[in-house]
Homo-oligomer: A and B are copies of this chain.
Amino acid sequence: MARIVMKFGGTSVADMDRIRNVARHVKREVDAGHEVAVVVSAMSGKTNELVAWTRDASPMHDAREYDAVVASGEQVTSGLLALALQNIGINARSWQGWQIPIKTDNAHGAARILEIDGSELIRRFGEGQVAVVAGFQGLGPDNRIATLGRGGSDTSAVAIAAAIKADRCDIYTDVDGVYTTDPRIEPKAKRLKKIAFEEMLEMASLGAKVLQVRSVELAMVFKVRTFVRSSFEDPDAPGMGDFLNPPGTLICDEEEILEQEVVTGIAYAKDEAQISLRRLADRPGVSAAIFGPLAEAHINVDMIVQNISEDGSKTDMTFTVPSGDVDKALKVLNDQKDKVGFDVIQNESGLVKVSVIGIGMRSHAGVAASAFKALAEKGINIKAITTSEIKISILIDGAYAELAVRTLHSVYGLDKS
């Protein structure tokens, strides 16, 4: 007998038929003798509808009222799933964030979970009751509903798993696991059996939309073993209830991964743009003068590369931002021109960042060199490079995105199982 958190996203609870299907997944685990807490999102489309109404009501946007409106979506799903479970003979009750309570900070609309009291849920496990928890929300210090921001239900699930000391947190979604790369680009992509928290964090940051970045961070901190698996498979298909080895990808501590590959996966992020400032004064504080105002304008700067400029006396600064933010970034920088003291500003949109990810590269030399060589052989020009301990990111022209992904996927042997 184990204690399991099962999380179901919007497409998994899109209508009553899908909710009944979720109930069957839950029943399978309950019948196997496990203690179960379920975390649910709003029915797909519902959150967008509610958000649109709040915008229509007031462009000024009081985040506390936004939260009261938008959190109702998960409230509905939690009640409906509790009813659907009762209907197939399972003792279940719904829990709103304010009832448990899931205490958050006061950042309405993007709140962080501070504390969860799991004792009442645990007590009721002892009475054979399944907890159905409304995801995405908690109770702020002002005694009002606070939502965690988009995709927050993943974070709710991991946080509850940590609070109740669950053996596992199963994230049911519309894909059946984490792949070595996007299978739509490389059909030879393989589903990973395991991936380390750090690797998943890089994958998530780089646009692999399986899990929210914050939920992976939380899982890493609290060492919550997290399974990514599909809610669209038959709940009673062979192996679905296999406790030790369910179908899906386990996100876990790297120590649990015995046969560590050098490279685990290839990720990519589209619609990047590059901005270059030429012949900056090479003096302390110049970076702060550039990136401070950009941060204030909520522009997410990603890769940053600094070089000595052509004539040797000054410096060049290149960085990437999302394509949609280029105009805003250029305006911010031109407004700061006197302070920053650059000579020329250049920009290029429609770029792609391709990343090679793997904890194994910590202890292997030459991983980056293989990537550069392989891309060069295909005639793909590299515009910028950044590296970390477990990641190499390469900025290239968007037209070469798929070719680069397939090339790197092959060069590190990910095509073979």
Contact = CB atoms under 8 A, between A and B. Distances in A.
Contact of A54 (B66, B68, B80, B143): B80
Contacts of A44: none
Contact of A87 (B60, B82, B86): B60
A16 interface: yes
Nearest to A59: B87
Interface string A46-82: 0000100110111111101111110111011011111
A16 B75 CA distance: 22
A336 interface: no
Interface stretch (A94-102, A199-207, A337-345): A94-102
B82 A62 contact: yes
A66 B86 contact: no
A144 interface: yes
B76 A57 contact: no
Given A56-B16, A57-B16, A75-B72, A83 B65 contact: yes
B69 A54 contact: no
A84 B72 contact: no
Interface residues of A, number: 41
B99 A83 contact: no
B86 A65 contact: yes
A71 B53 CA distance: 18
A19 interface: yes
A50 to B, nearest CB: 7
Q: Is the interface of A mostly helix, strand, loop or mixed?
A: helix
A59 to B, nearest CB: 7
A99 B59 contact: no
Contacts of A145: 96
A165 interface: no
A53 to B, nearest CB: 6
A98 B97 CA distance: 12
B65 A76 contact: no
A147 to B, nearest CB: 12
A137 to B, nearest CB: 12
Interface string A91-131: 00110101100000000000000000000000000000000
B96 A80 contact: no
A261 B200 CA distance: 79
A298 B282 CA distance: 87
A27 to B, nearest CB: 14
A324 B93 CA distance: 35
A93 B64 contact: yes
B96 A83 contact: no
Contacts of A16: 53, 56-57
5 contacts: A54-B79, A57-B80, A60-B87, A65-B94, A98-B98
Given A50-B76, A58-B86, A68-B79, 10 more contacts: A16-B56, A20-B57, A53-B80, A60-B87, A61-B83, A62-B83, A62-B86, A69-B76, A75-B75, A98-B98
